[in-house]
Amino acid sequence: MFFDPIYWVVIGAGMLLSMWASARVKGTFAKFSKIRSGSGLTGAQVAQRILQANNVHDVKIEPVKGKLTDHYDPRSKTLRLSEPVYGSGSLSALGVAAHEVGHAIQHAEGYAMLAFRSWWVPVANTGSGLSMIVLIIAAVMGGAQSVLGANLALLGVALFATTTLFTLVTLPVEFDASKRALLSLQKGGIMPASELAGARKVLNAAGMTYVAAFITSLLTLLYWAYRLGLFGGRR
């Protein structure tokens, strides 16, 4: 595996894509963090306003340390906004806060894809933890060239596929939350069209990190299936 040039091409492509997506979201967030919204509201205040507008009254809003660590915890119904978002009135802060509220609204409405992703988390965690061990053993056993190797290859690929499916399901969940965010900012009169364009760029950049994660996972899955001879012959 470690001497297989295809492996390094796949890993390198995934790393470059992830680095590009990460740099883009950080750069876009930093750019629009310097532009304050004319509403005068902070990220926390915008989050509270959107929650109330959607009749969601049982979600707590808390600050959390770090940068771009914003998330919604459906288990405790808590919206955690990072320090650069919670108390800031920038376009970036308001866009990110509204996006996370989008997840809270998804939860309140029983959005199917969010429910499935939450249910799938332990499955994906188990698959992620075991897949590489099984895949490497399958490679040592000759992959599809032996009965045991073929069975292990199928098992390993199936285990890894649980993480690929998780990254795939994450896409509609995140894109829907961003759509809800922009709509809430517009309908609530929080942002005019000029400011909304900035918030949209921040959320689009953030969305690319999830696209990069899916593509990287899919490429890795296809590599192992090919490497172990499940299609295209054994390498």
pLDDT tens digits for range 75-128: 999 999 999 999 999 999 999 999 999 999 999 999 999 999 999 999 999 999
Instruction: Specify whether the CB–CB gap between 41 and 89 falls below 8 A.
Output: yes
Mean pLDDT (whole number) for 25-29: 96
What is residue 235's predicted lDDT score, i.e. its pLDDT? 46
In whole angstroms, give the CA distance from residue 170 to residue 121.
11
Domain residue spans in the chain? 5-37+90-227
pLDDT tens column, 150-194: 999 999 999 999 999 999 999 999 999 999 999 999 999 999 999
Q: Is the pTM value of this prediction over 0.75?
A: yes
Q: Output the CA angle 174-33-101, nearest 5 degrees.
A: 35
Out of 100, 109, 174, 195, which one is annotated catalytic? 100
Reply yes or no on whether 62 is catalytic: no
pLDDT tens column, 122-151: 999 999 999 999 999 999 998 888 899 999
In whole angstroms, give the CA distance from residue 116 to residue 52.
26
What is residue 4's predicted lDDT score, i.e. its pLDDT? 80
C-alpha radius of gyration, the chain, whole number: 21
Instruction: Indicate if the alpha-carbon torsion angle 121, 129, 172, 191 is positive or negative.
Output: positive
- What SS3 class is residue 80? strand
Sequence-ordered list of residues with C-beta below 8 angstroms from that of 10, at least 6 positions apart, any chain: 219, 220, 223
